[in-house]
Amino acid sequence: MSLNILTCNEDNVTEVMYSAFEPIGRVLEIDRISILSIQEQMATFSYSWRADGSKNPLGEGFNIEAMTLLQRRLQSLDPIIIDDIESIKDSAQTEYTLLKSQNIASIALFPLIDGQSVFGILSASNLYHPQQWTETQKTILSRLSTTVSELHIRLKNHNEMTALQDELIETNRRLHIAAETDELTGLPNRRPFMTELAHNTESLFVSTITTMMIDVDHFKQYNDTYGHVQGDFALRYVAQALKQVLSPCGHMVARIGGEEFCALLINTSQEESVVLAQQMRQEVEKLNITHSGNDPYDIVTISIGVAFQHLGNHPITPQNMLENADEALYAAKKRGRNHVEIATGTKW
């Protein structure tokens, strides 16, 4: 029986407790066996078995702050054995009144101990008629209290270990996200972008891939003129503008370094890709961030190179896609910046 209690888990602990308490109560001729948890001077029924099948008081509790007899014995970690509650009528009036209200005539209380602290009480009681607790009863109930204490410790350790594992998993998740997130803009960085690009070039469910290389025009001059703090602000605004266009469509945009961004569009036509590129360019223009070194526009602008590829035509590597987009970006800058150019040579 002790083994059954010790090997139970949180899902079936109530069932196991009841199945253990009932035969013990029947054999020892006890009317009630209960476990009360103690927290902040409140004792609350956690598990209870009653021979007469009366209503279980689970969740009910009472304040033990004024119970001097109980407090004293709990502090010394000693059991309380009362053959007849009338014997404590004068010396422990608070305890007597509570027991009398429950029709308890005799009671045995055993502290449940976690190390050197009491976390609860094992209570065994008889109703209406006093009885002398035998050595057999006290020994079995004492062993039962030890078993319950060991179960509590095991479950607590298990819960602490589970909580620690969950915390480690969450920490690893956050570290993983941090490792793949650009700290300045909150966009993915190069690593997840390249992983996603490589994955999609090999996927059977992807028919077309568009990659875009995006560069903030004359950004070095911007930093030289307005300072790196303002440069960081500008990059954040640009990043949000790009994300605002692509994220609702399920497309990916990443910051791969400095003032350079990359976009990845899956199963999107060439025409749709160019439309989205133009939208991004226009959204950055709408930011209207002053940039006196970006002649002739005098505001922050971006240039975009677009590389579109049907995967079924011939093998293509992620590096090829990025090189094609980079060549198109170079062409867009050569045209005077604030332009979108597609790698086929068609100008937009």
State the catalytic residues: 259
pLDDT at 116 over 90: no
**pLDDT-based confidence at residue 270 (cuts at 50, 70, 90):** very high
Percent of the chain with pLDDT over 90: 67
CA distance 80 to 69: 9
**pLDDT-based confidence at residue 134 (cuts at 50, 70, 90):** very high
For residue 68, the model assigns a pLDDT of 86
For residue 11, the model assigns a pLDDT of 58
At residue 259, the 3 state secondary structure works out as: coil
More confident residue, 190 or 39: 190
Closest CA to 322 of 228, 269, 250, 257: 257
CA distance 72 to 257: 69
- Average confidence (pLDDT) over 69-74: 86
CA distance 214 to 237: 14
CB distance 223 to 234 below 8 Å: no
List pLDDT tens digits, range 170-202. 999 999 999 999 999 999 999 999 999 999 998
Closest CA to 321 of 332, 310, 335: 310
For residue 3, the model assigns a pLDDT of 44
Please, what are the domains in the chain?
3-160 (3.30.450.40), 190-342 (3.30.70.270)
List pLDDT tens digits, range 325-334. 999 999 999 9
DSSP-assigned letter for residue 38: E
pTM of the predicted model over 0.85: no
Mean pLDDT of the chain: 90
For residue 13, the model assigns a pLDDT of 58
